Amino acid sequence: MEKLDTLYFAWEKGPAVVESVPEGKLGFFIKGDSWMSASPAQVADFVLDGVQLSETEFNDRFGTIGGTLPDLPVG
């Protein structure tokens, strides 16, 4: 699956991302030690109640995806 863009968020005291792919938008958040798929309502809540971060701010706050954080479950 080709990734077009990624938005980064601090949400519910943890990391969350929205991946833009040709098929639409996919949201993920960390629960425990792994990424969980977000519902459309949760993705909306990332924007409404979360804080959007730059990739650098996200990495500084939570770690890097595929490094200190697990890889996203996007093919």
What pTM value is reported for the model? 0.89
Does some domain include residue 52?
yes
Total structural domains in the chain?
Answer: 1
pLDDT, tens digit (0-9, with 9 covering 90-100), for 32-51: 899 999 999 999 999 999 99
Low-confidence residues of the chain: pLDDT under 50: none
What contacts 14, CB < 8 A, 6 or more positions away?
29, 30, 62
Task: Report pLDDT for 73.
Answer: 87
Q: Is residue 22 assigned to a domain?
A: yes
Domain assignment present for residue 74? The answer is no
Residue 13: give the domain boundaries.
5-62
Q: In sequence order, which ranges of 1-75 are alpha helices (DSSP H)?
A: 40-49, 55-62
In a domain, 30, yes or no: yes
